[in-house]
Structure 1
Amino acid sequence: MDIEQLCRAVRNPGDLRNLPNYVDAVNPAATGLKRVIWPYGFHTEIPCALTNCRTRHKSGVIIELEDGSISNIGNICGGDEDKFSTKFTSEMRAMSESRRRESLMPLLLDRDALQKIESDVRAMCDAANRWVRLNAAFADMFPEVDREIRRRIAVGASLTVAEDIERSGAEIDDIVASGRARSREEARYAQVAKGTIAGVPVLGLSAKALRSMEARTNALLAANPQEADIASLQKLFNDATYLPEDVQSLKRACVAGETFYSGENFKLMAYLPGAPETRRRLDRLARADLEDRSKQIDAKDLGIDHPTESGQTVRMPTKKDIKRQRYVDAQIRAAQQLNKKW
């Protein structure tokens, strides 16, 4: 077993002292640092091997000196240029980057796993494009209804719709007499819930999001992890980790489309505020009508082949999306800050 593997196996001060060529005292004026091998963390304190330090600590690093001996120093005093080599900072950075690479590489070198991700993304993007077209067709044919549904989604309002039913004279008299209404006009109509518009996650599908997924997949398959810098490597790892989750989100949105674009849902939409003619059209609407309209819409208007600034199909991020993106951004920032960490 080589020295690096032995250093990785160190679990306590006894293991440390048993390393080949270990010395417990290092005069920084007499010998230089060759490299930082591996960090350690013990339950009990041990002294720093630097003769100009000797601070007791629980966390530090195992080092190799230029004369081939092995020793240990604290990770704080090691960075003090008055106590040890200025090379310490760059060697700590190299070790940290090496450890991070080691944790990221297995997934990125698993070509079978990456090719499955690519296959799944392609299949789901193809399926989702159909619903992107239906979204565009629906917004084109019923712009007021589309805006109202999206408004309710954006502000968290209920998607339950109701019909105003005129009460009988006796019912109105009873309501006014019981004090439940201040006037007959106020008691004239009753709202009767008709149902809740379902399947709205399909409206989160957009051509822009699908293009982004495909671009991330292409970059993942084309990259050479062995040559990537640490920040790029972290981004590739994040994509390899989260693209399968994004595929599942697409799948759920496509399933939701079956419900949203159904005759039952169209009849519920007819109860939304709108012109009487719009209500009559929704009552008669079938998914096939939207399919026909979608075929008449140019691809560039959908943003499938060309970027678009249209806000009609912009996806509303969920709390989970926001939390995950913050985590991803933090990982990338950490990778980019390796030069400053130590």
Structure 2
Amino acid sequence: MQRKQPIRNTSDIIKLQFYVSKFDVTTTPIIRIVDSYDIRPSSIRCSLCGKEHHDGRIVELRGGSVSNIGHICGKRYGGKGYGDALDAYLSAMNLPQLKARIREGGHKLESFRVQIGALHDSCLELRRYIQSFQSRFPDTFRELQRMAMENRPEVFESVERTDAQIADLMAANPRQNREALKYGRVSIGAISGYRFAATDWDPTHGLMKFFNEVSEFEKFQGSDLGKMRRWANWVDDLEENMQRLGAVVQDGFRFFSSGNFRLFAHLPAPLALRRQLETLTIGDLRMSDSGNTKVKPQSVLPVGIQRARKAKPTATARELRNLTGDKKMRW
């Protein structure tokens, strides 16, 4: 049954085709909700509880008949069939709004084409750096991952204390073991962008997932309510997700710096590798990448971005900074 005219009074309900004034939900379950009604000041007897209600739902039953029930009566007596029917009905009511949000999201995505392309290139570059670094310095990289997950940006080195320093410490607490105080840990600096070491590069749920979702959104065509809700929420969060992604990119380029490499040289690793870290440059990682590290692409640059690039130049560094300038989106 399809409703074409609004229900204004009791007569409109009773005159519905295949209308029944009473039914047993255990033998004739509710299949779907056809419409809602509010006929104040009039009322009509509920087909489930038998009491008069001013408003409620028109429901279709198994077999094709229709009836009327109150809002609360449906939840109380309508069984699982009513709960499923209500979810579907409310989703269908939201369909125009979902379509509008997705259309608006398409326009928003179009305005971000150049920035998304720049972020995509930056992520691919950083992923190559991290694969190259990991292959050359595996012990150091594992330690950096631990530090990132444990929120420890500072690097320390062990230094021998002077007799005067040990004497001061013993005076403060005479019960200490003097031999244990011979060496102390001194901070030599904090790693810039240290959380980048814990970045997840898995294309199904990690950093690159965003770009795959852009492609999926461009291809989406259909009326599946669950998928429409998902994409409507996705486009609502588009700008915020781009800012977060931009913050990761900024951390990544700070992470791969000569100053950080000199700090990495103080982390646990074989001596020969630590000496290499003292003089390592980003150019060394690029050379290593081009010579030894083969990276399989884990995301495809969306077609829309490729088209935009033909018409517009890649985003400048200033444009990228403006995109990620919201400090609240920092790690």
Q: Please indicate the TM-score interval, normalised by the length of the shorter structure.
A: 0.5 to 0.7
Q: Does 1:98 align with 2:95?
A: no
> Percent identity among equivalent residues?
23
Deviation at 1:47, TM superposition (A): 6.0
Deviation at 1:120, TM superposition (A): 4.1
Moved more, 89-98 or 160-169: 89-98
Q: Which residue of 2 aligns with 1:295?
A: 290
Report if aligned partners of 1:46, 1:56 keep a CA contact under 8 Å in 2. Answer: no
Q: Which residue of 2 aligns with 1:223?
A: 220
Q: Which residue of 2 aligns with 1:163?
A: 157
Q: Which residue of 2 aligns with 1:37?
A: 35
Report the CA distance shift for 1:53/1:247 in structure 2 as closer, same or farther (over 3 A). same
Query: Following the alignment from structure 1 to structure 2, what is the Cα–Cα distance between the partners of residues 51 and 169?
Result: 93
RMSD (Å), alpha carbons: 4.1
Structure 1 gaps, min length 5: 8-18, 65-70, 307-342
Query: Following the alignment from structure 2 to structure 1, what is the Cα–Cα distance between the partners of residues 297 and 282?
Result: 21
Q: Does 1:304 align with 2:301?
A: no
Query: Following the alignment from structure 2 to structure 1, what is the Cα–Cα distance between the partners of residues 262 and 245?
Result: 26
Report the CA distance shift for 1:247/1:58 in structure 2 as closer, same or farther (over 3 A). farther
Alignment of 1:79-94 (within 5 A): 92=86
Q: Could you list the per-position Cα deviations for residues 104-147 of structure 1 after superposition, in whole angstroms to 9, with x for gaps in the alignment?
A: 11021234224335554333112211111111111122111110
Report the CA distance shift for 1:166/1:201 in structure 2 as closer, same or farther (over 3 A). closer
Query: Following the alignment from structure 1 to structure 2, what is the Cα–Cα distance between the partners of residues 56 and 180?
Result: 86
Match of 1:183 among 177, 182, 204: 177
Moved more, 98-107 or 237-246: 237-246
The one-letter amino acid of 1:271's match is H
Deviation at 1:79, TM superposition (A): 7.4
Secondary structure of 1:36's match?
A: strand
Secondary structure of 1:190's match?
A: strand
Query: Following the alignment from structure 2 to structure 1, what is the Cα–Cα distance between the partners of residues 271 and 44?
Result: 83
Report the CA distance shift for 1:304/1:90 in structure 2 as closer, same or farther (over 3 A). closer
Deviation at 1:249, TM superposition (A): 1.9
Q: What is the aligned length? A: 274
Report if aligned partners of 1:197, 1:265 keep a CA contact under 8 Å in 2. Answer: yes
Match of 2:267 among 254, 265, 272: 272
The one-letter amino acid of 2:165's match is E
Q: Under a length normalisation based on structure 2, what TM-score does the superposition of the two structures give?
A: 0.67
Structure 2 gaps, min length 5: 22-31, 61-66, 300-331
Match of 2:110 among 98, 106, 115: 115
Report the CA distance shift for 1:119/1:232 in structure 2 as closer, same or farther (over 3 A). farther
Q: Could you list the per-position Cα deviations for residues 263-282 of structure 1 after superposition, in whole angstroms to 9, with x for gaps in the alignment?
A: 22222222222233233222
Query: Following the alignment from structure 1 to structure 2, what is the Cα–Cα distance between the partners of residues 253 and 152?
Result: 17
Secondary structure of 1:198's match?
A: coil
Q: Which residue of 2 aligns with 1:263?
A: 258
Report if aligned partners of 2:158, 2:186 keep a CA contact under 8 Å in 1. Answer: yes
Query: Following the alignment from structure 2 to structure 1, what is the Cα–Cα distance between the partners of residues 120 and 202?
Result: 9
Report the CA distance shift for 1:20/1:296 in structure 2 as closer, same or farther (over 3 A). same
Secondary structure of 1:186's match?
A: helix
Report the CA distance shift for 1:22/1:133 in structure 2 as closer, same or farther (over 3 A). same
Report the CA distance shift for 1:292/1:50 in structure 2 as closer, same or farther (over 3 A). same
The one-letter amino acid of 1:98's match is A
Q: Which residue of 2 aligns with 1:340?
A: none
Query: Following the alignment from structure 1 to structure 2, what is the Cα–Cα distance between the partners of residues 144 and 90?
Result: 54
Q: Which residue of 1 aligns with 2:326?
A: none
The one-letter amino acid of 1:31's match is Y
Q: Could you list the per-position Cα deviations for residues 34-88 of structure 1 after superposition, in whole angstroms to 9, with x for gaps in the alignment?
A: 9733477x9xx99654377453679734789xxxxxx97412435799x9xxx98
Query: Following the alignment from structure 2 to structure 1, what is the Cα–Cα distance between the partners of residues 133 and 234?
Result: 32
Report the CA distance shift for 1:296/1:29 in structure 2 as closer, same or farther (over 3 A). closer
Q: Which residue of 2 aligns with 1:143?
A: 138
Report if aligned partners of 1:24, 1:72 keep a CA contact under 8 Å in 2. Answer: no
